[in-house]
A and B are shown apart, each in its own frame.
Chain A
């Protein structure tokens, strides 16, 4: 069985990449720490208190979050691609991330004006509401137009509208919040707390598990809605689940790290090529590993490339993700012309 061997090799490679990048994220930073100091901090053997703080309170939660949200983001992308039967669908291009962003920005401004701190749960709820609103709009459009390209353009337009509104909201926010809000709206993994990680994990992990359990009907659905129905899939329930799960994942990511572009498209595609399979059963775990590795890698670049200045995470993911999307579009049109 060459296929199982290939799958195993691919999973091992992905896991190794995640491990190596995770380690690099801990060792590498604006404050240079000796590897020994990092290890002692991780093992909790006292030592330098500052180094311990940097590792345990800053770098470790940030790395865990990057891995977690990366996995969530690529899984969300894969679910949307399955739902729309389009390889360039994703939370960012469909405007779902932007919808969540707008809702979160509004919530933050309202809450901060009243001097309240926004809890993780509130943020996720707001993001989810925004994501669902954007999704509802996209679905309404999808019912009218059959052409996927038009649907994607609509999604992008919704994204622009939401971003513009968010910018206006930010402009009217109090000065003290602006920097914070601005950073967030560009997308960043900085400033993650363990509380954030906990909340994100509570949402993301069950949703990912649920998505994995849907991989059987997903495989049938990939062959067409009609076919799925003919083999006994409850298509209505199944597509509702797909929309719900992908929106939850995208909302969760947006609530903590702001909109992050192209991960949802690029990672599933690269993973499929690596695995040599498009079966959801194989691709979903691969997506989680691949998304984690990709976000760890991009975050590493974002904070170390021009240190101490941090780049927004979207700037980095776009540089690596956008070319994949362009390549996908070109290949698709070539095949269409064939």
Chain B
């Protein structure tokens, strides 16, 4: 690889006198490439350039030009291949720009330096290349700084070099001058196949023009980096010794929160189209926890702070984000990921989810604990047993998988202990339903898909309408009555796939919480038979006539169970227990205990059927199928029974 460089250095040590200023420098540049040196003043950029140009003998190592040591070239040979453009401060007496540029013909002219016709042509060509042909007869002392730099560049080009080195060519130029000069350089590099090495102070310009970058700091010289690597905020801050505030003041995008991710880091970009709008998806707290665990584990196992962490969510979408921070602690490492709800801004958006990982070489497997800000399960019937941290099984699996992958990559065979905490989670949780549903002391780490799709009401309605339109198209093509399956969410779809696979051939529309609205759409779309398949926790609300099942709108689940149990002759104690139950699954357990599950469900299903018929208004026949994750199939309404029988055929 190294031999292919037109001009390069290996193991170079540079400096004045005997003590090297910088050593172990390896770099190189190809024809048509622009290599930019960046770094603070006094770090040795100019010294490096002068050494590469053969102006200064290396203290150690060699500079190679076309594979030969630069020291083996005579001055004239070298000058025909390599030109150095250094700042020029000397006053030139009675010198036109043409005269000045013609000095660059030095390696080609004869004993007395008299210009031949060919030399004059080259001078004119060089002036044209830098767009300064009109300056030829002007006095060199009386041109602007920008013009002067162009003339200096033309003089260097007159040497017909293959490599051109420029020492801060943009100093003292105004912004227009800088851009013009760098544009000329870029064009020259790419059209004339010149290899260009230049030092620049203007990072934003360097980032634009550079093909490769070498960072020169008093501590040492980096290898040849890509601009993406070199202009990482951390790298720039370390190179110039900037504080985060100083850096942000210069380069950051102004954001109100101090804890937002610095500019330039990847943001999760996944969009769902809804009507004419594009909505950005976010990721769940569970995804954050898994990403954080992966980041902390990588820091522990590789010793390097990960720039980004990524994982594939259960939904199949890859989420890649930069950690908010990632650092070692006394016993392990911790990594924070900022929760991003996308366009669906909820209470948890912006909170840092922190995963603290401790390596346990002797204990295989992954142990997951809840830290500060993560709630604890206080009532039975939830995803996790009472007393456990409110981290649902899907996020737990994601965390374990993420850690196992890190372990595999690092060939680590031991186990991990992970503590998930959410900064500010305890206060935020007070604004949620968590205490009511049996999670106390913090937020729950949730998410079945790992992805938060935007939930703005109109957006969802638009999406449902879209799915409805597609469903109509499918139904029209099928013979017989127009049939439609509705499911409120992922649970319903999963149940459908596992318990009722024969119905998957019918069009399915996800209703989200907008069951009433979806029924209206189905009526408008001309469907004749509609089957609603959903979790009892959602659909039992229909029994109370609640057609938008989002918990913001209304809950009433316990009330429904309580009322119907009372109708079926349940005791007061049972009714009280039902009212106090955290979830519908818990309610079912209570009913099982009282031997009332059958009649109560019967009663609820009848109520659901009544409300569904009312909403359908005779436009179609509609029925509901209920299930629970814990208890499996729970039954169906009378119309649903008929429909299912008809649909079997």
Q: Smallest distance from the beta carbon of A110 to chain B beta carbons, Å?
A: 44
Distance between Cα atoms of A223 and B111 in the complex (Å): 18
> Considering the complex, which residues of chain A in the window 217-272 have a beta carbon less than 8 Å from any beta carbon of chain B?
219-220, 222-224, 226-227, 229-234, 272
The reply on B159 being an interface residue by CB < 8 A is yes
- Chain B residue at minimum C-beta to C-beta distance from A229: B55
Distance between Cα atoms of A223 and B112 in the complex (Å): 17
Measured between beta carbons, the chain A residues less than 8 angstroms from B103 are 219-220, 223, 227, 231
Residue in contact with A215 in the complex, picked from B92, B93, B95, B113, CB distance below 8 Å: B113
Q: Is the CB of A234 within 8 A of B86?
A: no
Q: Is the CB of B107 within 8 A of A231?
A: yes
Q: Which residues of B does A touch, CB under 8 Å?
A: 53-55, 74-79, 83-84, 86, 88, 90-95, 99-100, 103-104, 106-107, 109, 111-114, 159
Distance between Cα atoms of A324 and B75 in the complex (Å): 39
Distance between Cα atoms of A244 and B109 in the complex (Å): 25
Q: Given contacts A223-B88, A231-B107, is CB(A272)–CB(B94) below 8 Å?
A: yes
Measured between beta carbons, the chain A residues less than 8 angstroms from B92 are 222-223, 278
Q: Is the CB of B111 within 8 A of A213?
A: yes
Give the size of the chain A interface in residues (CB under 8 angstroms).
26
Q: Smallest distance from the beta carbon of B451 to chain A beta carbons, Å?
A: 60
Distance between Cα atoms of A233 and B79 in the complex (Å): 10
Q: Smallest distance from the beta carbon of A44 to chain B beta carbons, Å?
A: 39
Distance between Cα atoms of A224 and B74 in the complex (Å): 20
Measured between beta carbons, the chain B residues less than 8 angstroms from A335 are 91
Q: Given contacts A276-B94, A278-B94, is CB(A232)–CB(B106) below 8 Å?
A: yes
Measured between beta carbons, the chain A residues less than 8 angstroms from B95 are 278
Distance between Cα atoms of A321 and B104 in the complex (Å): 35
Q: Is the CB of B114 within 8 A of A226?
A: no
Measured between beta carbons, the chain A residues less than 8 angstroms from B99 are 277, 279
Q: Is the CB of B112 within 8 A of A213?
A: yes
Q: Is the CB of A281 within 8 A of B94?
A: no
Residue in contact with A219 in the complex, picked from B74, B76, B113, CB distance below 8 Å: B113
Q: Is the CB of A281 within 8 A of B106?
A: no
Measured between beta carbons, the chain B residues less than 8 angstroms from A232 are 74-79, 106-107
- Chain B residue at minimum C-beta to C-beta distance from A332: B91
Measured between beta carbons, the chain B residues less than 8 angstroms from A219 are 103, 113
Distance between Cα atoms of A281 and B91 in the complex (Å): 19
How does the 8 Å CB contact mask read for A262-305 relative to B, with 1 for contact and 0 for none? 00000000001100111101000000000000000000000000
Residue in contact with B53 in the complex, picked from A87, A213, A230, A279, CB distance below 8 Å: A230
Distance between Cα atoms of A227 and B79 in the complex (Å): 11
Q: Smallest distance from the beta carbon of A113 to chain B beta carbons, Å?
A: 48
Q: Smallest distance from the beta carbon of A216 to chain B beta carbons, Å?
A: 3
The reply on A15 being an interface residue by CB < 8 A is no
Q: Is the CB of A226 within 8 A of B107?
A: no
Measured between beta carbons, the chain B residues less than 8 angstroms from A87 are 93
5 CB < 8 A contacts A-B = A85-B90, A223-B92, A229-B75, A230-B54, A232-B79
Distance between Cα atoms of A86 and B551 in the complex (Å): 88
Q: Which residues of A does B touch, CB under 8 Å?
A: 85, 87, 213, 215-216, 219-220, 222-224, 226-227, 229-234, 272-273, 276-279, 281, 335
Q: Smallest distance from the beta carbon of B325 to chain A beta carbons, Å?
A: 47
Q: Is the CB of A230 within 8 A of B112?
A: no
Given contacts A231-B75, A232-B77, A278-B92, 7 further A-B pairs with CB under 8 A are A87-B93, A213-B112, A223-B92, A227-B88, A233-B75, A276-B94, A277-B94
Distance between Cα atoms of A234 and B78 in the complex (Å): 13
Measured between beta carbons, the chain B residues less than 8 angstroms from A227 are 86, 88, 103
Q: Smallest distance from the beta carbon of B209 to chain A beta carbons, Å?
A: 23
- Chain B residue at minimum C-beta to C-beta distance from A223: B103
Q: Given contacts A85-B90, A230-B84, is CB(A216)–CB(B113) below 8 Å?
A: yes
Distance between Cα atoms of A276 and B96 in the complex (Å): 10
- Chain B residue at minimum C-beta to C-beta distance from A87: B93
Q: Smallest distance from the beta carbon of B347 to chain A beta carbons, Å?
A: 65
Residue in contact with B90 in the complex, picked from A223, A230, A276, A277, CB distance below 8 Å: A223
Distance between Cα atoms of A242 and B170 in the complex (Å): 35
Q: Is the CB of A281 within 8 A of B113?
A: yes
Q: Smallest distance from the beta carbon of B114 to chain A beta carbons, Å?
A: 7
Distance between Cα atoms of A224 and B84 in the complex (Å): 13
Distance between Cα atoms of A213 and B112 in the complex (Å): 6
Q: Is the CB of B55 within 8 A of A230?
A: yes
Q: Smallest distance from the beta carbon of A30 to chain B beta carbons, Å?
A: 42
Measured between beta carbons, the chain B residues less than 8 angstroms from A231 are 75, 79, 103-104, 106-107, 159
- Chain B residue at minimum C-beta to C-beta distance from A275: B94
Residue in contact with B112 in the complex, picked from A215, A276, A277, A278, CB distance below 8 Å: A215
Residue in contact with B106 in the complex, picked from A216, A234, A276, A279, CB distance below 8 Å: A216
Measured between beta carbons, the chain A residues less than 8 angstroms from B94 are 272-273, 276-278
Q: Is the CB of B111 within 8 A of A224?
A: no
- Chain B residue at minimum C-beta to C-beta distance from A233: B75
Q: Is the CB of A216 within 8 A of B111?
A: yes
Residue of B74, B99, B112 ringed by the most chain A CB atoms within 10 A: B112
Measured between beta carbons, the chain A residues less than 8 angstroms from B86 are 224, 226-227, 230
Measured between beta carbons, the chain A residues less than 8 angstroms from B100 are 223
Measured between beta carbons, the chain A residues less than 8 angstroms from B84 are 230
Q: Smallest distance from the beta carbon of A230 to chain B beta carbons, Å?
A: 5
Q: Is the CB of B88 within 8 A of A230?
A: no
Distance between Cα atoms of A272 and B75 in the complex (Å): 30
Measured between beta carbons, the chain A residues less than 8 angstroms from B113 are 215-216, 219, 281
Q: Is the CB of B79 within 8 A of A224?
A: no
Distance between Cα atoms of A229 and B114 in the complex (Å): 19
Q: Smallest distance from the beta carbon of A53 to chain B beta carbons, Å?
A: 43
Q: Is the CB of B111 within 8 A of A230?
A: no
Measured between beta carbons, the chain A residues less than 8 angstroms from B93 are 87, 272, 278
Measured between beta carbons, the chain B residues less than 8 angstroms from A226 are 55, 86
Residue in contact with A220 in the complex, picked from B53, B78, B106, B112, CB distance below 8 Å: B106
Q: Smallest distance from the beta carbon of B39 to chain A beta carbons, Å?
A: 21
Distance between Cα atoms of A273 and B55 in the complex (Å): 34
Q: Is the CB of A216 within 8 A of B75?
A: no
Q: Is the CB of A230 within 8 A of B114?
A: no
- Chain B residue at minimum C-beta to C-beta distance from A3: B96
Q: Smallest distance from the beta carbon of A114 to chain B beta carbons, Å?
A: 48
Distance between Cα atoms of A231 and B94 in the complex (Å): 22
Q: Smallest distance from the beta carbon of B523 to chain A beta carbons, Å?
A: 85
- Chain B residue at minimum C-beta to C-beta distance from A212: B112
Distance between Cα atoms of A213 and B110 in the complex (Å): 11
Q: Is the CB of B79 within 8 A of A281?
A: no
Distance between Cα atoms of A232 and B503 in the complex (Å): 86
Q: Is the CB of A216 within 8 A of B79?
A: no
Residue of A222, A224, A231, A233 ringed by the most chain B CB atoms within 10 A: A231
Measured between beta carbons, the chain B residues less than 8 angstroms from A273 are 94
Measured between beta carbons, the chain A residues less than 8 angstroms from B90 are 85, 222-224
Residue of B54, B86, B113 ringed by the most chain A CB atoms within 10 A: B113
Q: Smallest distance from the beta carbon of A288 to chain B beta carbons, Å?
A: 16
Measured between beta carbons, the chain B residues less than 8 angstroms from A216 are 106, 109, 111-113
Measured between beta carbons, the chain A residues less than 8 angstroms from B109 are 216
Measured between beta carbons, the chain A residues less than 8 angstroms from B112 are 213, 215-216, 281
Q: Smallest distance from the beta carbon of A233 to chain B beta carbons, Å?
A: 7
Measured between beta carbons, the chain A residues less than 8 angstroms from B74 are 232
Q: Is the CB of A281 within 8 A of B114?
A: yes
Distance between Cα atoms of A279 and B115 in the complex (Å): 12
- Chain A residue at minimum C-beta to C-beta distance from B91: A335
Closest 9 CB pairs of A and B: A232-B75, A216-B113, A231-B106, A278-B93, A232-B79, A278-B94, A232-B76, A230-B84, A231-B79
Q: Smallest distance from the beta carbon of A81 to chain B beta carbons, Å?
A: 10
Distance between Cα atoms of A279 and B86 in the complex (Å): 22
Distance between Cα atoms of A219 and B76 in the complex (Å): 16
Measured between beta carbons, the chain B residues less than 8 angstroms from A279 are 99
Measured between beta carbons, the chain A residues less than 8 angstroms from B77 are 232
Q: Smallest distance from the beta carbon of B131 to chain A beta carbons, Å?
A: 22
